[in-house]
Amino acid sequence: MSDKILIAGNWAIGEAAIRAGCRFYAGYPITPQNELTEYMAENMRRAEGGTFIQAESEIAAVNMVLGASAAGARAMTSSSSPGISLKQEGISALAADELPAVIVNMMRGGPGLGNILPSQGDYFQATRGGGHGDYRTIVLAPASVQELADLTMDAFDLADKYRNPVMILGDGMTGQMMEPVVFGKPRPRRYNEKYVLKGAGEGKSKFIRALILDALRMEEHNWKLVRKYRVVEQNEVRFETYKTGNARLIIIAYGIAARIAKGAINRLRDSGMKVGLIRPITLWPFPAQIIRDTAERIDRFLVFEMSTGQMIDDVKLALEGKGHVSFYGRPGGVVPTPAELAKAIVQEYRR
């Protein structure tokens, strides 16, 4: 019997996290990700050694995760856009302390309180660190519920491997929609005990801190982090290409927008238009090389985002002035149909 189940995105993240060995979750209610917090409330208590805390605030939740991570737990928190803004203090601290953690952002319309509808307006915040100081978080952008489950498991491994916060950047739609999922087999945790605070025993005491008052030492810590980020950039770039082989125009889109783009591309292909897709799966590190390589043979790109245009900056940086880049965006919680996007693509295609 197959263990394929029909499950909503937010639940799939929770289930994948618990299967991956997540044993500490703290969260605060915010739409559209409440199902994840509720799933953890229901199921984390059943996991051996599992802790669920409904925190008093987003800030408290991420700082609880900081403590749990330092104490050796696989730890996660989740929220949606306004809540993620509040968590930035803790994400910056996790990056500075080199502590692993998984942070889920089910993006909604913004800025400010915005609304509770699917959006992609937090790309800049997610891929540029988001909080204060020189740092990066690894950002994974799932486009299906199956991928939410898979990438959640991967997120814990990546967080451990690089001792760095990892963000799962979804949106209100990926979180709410139900799709069939087969949960993968989690890999055994590989995390060096020497990084865990559990009391000094008879030995030397350890401390974890982000305050480094000496400028030269602080600088060295900054460069040390950058050296780590370079390794992440070399090893962890992920993307999908779809019908790019003979394409004359390439759509670049991530997450749920890429699903819409595939629908549009299939329609256009049916009427003979040669359109393909590059879908970044890691938003940081950004798949710049594949875009640059593609530009050797195709010179027209259309970036599609459910925002006013953020990832387009990374696309332009990747292209280094090559090719022609256009943009189609629907911010504010508007989810365009494949037909609407197809129309925008045709205009560009015929130009």
Partner 1 sequence: MKKVFSRPRSLKSTPFHYCAGCGHSIIHRVICEVIDELGIRGNTIGVPPAGCAVVAYNYFDVDMLEAPHGRGCAVATGIKRTLPDRVVFSYQGDGDLAAIGTAETFHAANRGENITVLFINNAVYGMTGGQMAPTTLLGQTSTTSPPGRNAILDGHPIRMSEILANLEGTAYIERVAVNSAQNILRAKKAVKKAFQYQIDGAGFNMIEVLSQCPTNWKMNTVDACRWVDEVMSKTFPIGVIKDTGKGRKDAD
Count CB neighbours of 289 within 10 A.
Answer: 13
Angle at which helices 255-270 and 338-350 cross, to 10°: 60
Among 55, 166, 257, 258, binds partner 1 (CB under 8 A): 55
The sign of the CA dihedral 151, 304, 8, 87 is: positive
The stretch near partner 1 (CB under 8 A) out of 53-61, 249-257, 283-291, 295-303 is 53-61
Least distance (Å) between residue 110 CB and partner 1: 23
Q: Tell whether residue 197 is a contact of partner 1 (CB under 8 A).
A: yes
Count CB neighbours of 311 within 10 A.
Answer: 26
Name the residue nearer to partner 1 (CB basis): 84 or 151: 84
Among 10, 37, 63, 152, binds partner 1 (CB under 8 A): 63
Q: Tell whether residue 205 is a contact of partner 1 (CB under 8 A).
A: yes
Q: Tell whether residue 207 is a contact of partner 1 (CB under 8 A).
A: yes
| Token pair belonging to 5 | 């189940």
Name the residue nearer to partner 1 (CB basis): 99 or 117: 99
Q: Tell whether residue 267 is a contact of partner 1 (CB under 8 A).
A: no
CB proximity list for 98: less than 8 A, separation 6 or greater: 163, 164, 195, 225
Among 31, 67, 233, 326, binds partner 1 (CB under 8 A): 67
Q: Tell whether residue 64 is a contact of partner 1 (CB under 8 A).
A: yes
Kindly write down the DSSP assignment for every residue of 235-280, as one continuous string: H---EEEES-TT-SEEEE--HHHHHHHHHHHHHHHHTT--EEEEEE
Among 18, 23, 282, 338, binds partner 1 (CB under 8 A): 23
Distances (CA, A) of 176 to 1, 34, 128, 205, 241: 27, 10, 26, 46, 25
Q: What is the contact surface with partner 1 in residues (CB under 8 A)?
A: 23-24, 26, 51, 53, 55-57, 59-61, 63-73, 75, 89-90, 93, 97, 197-203, 205-211, 213
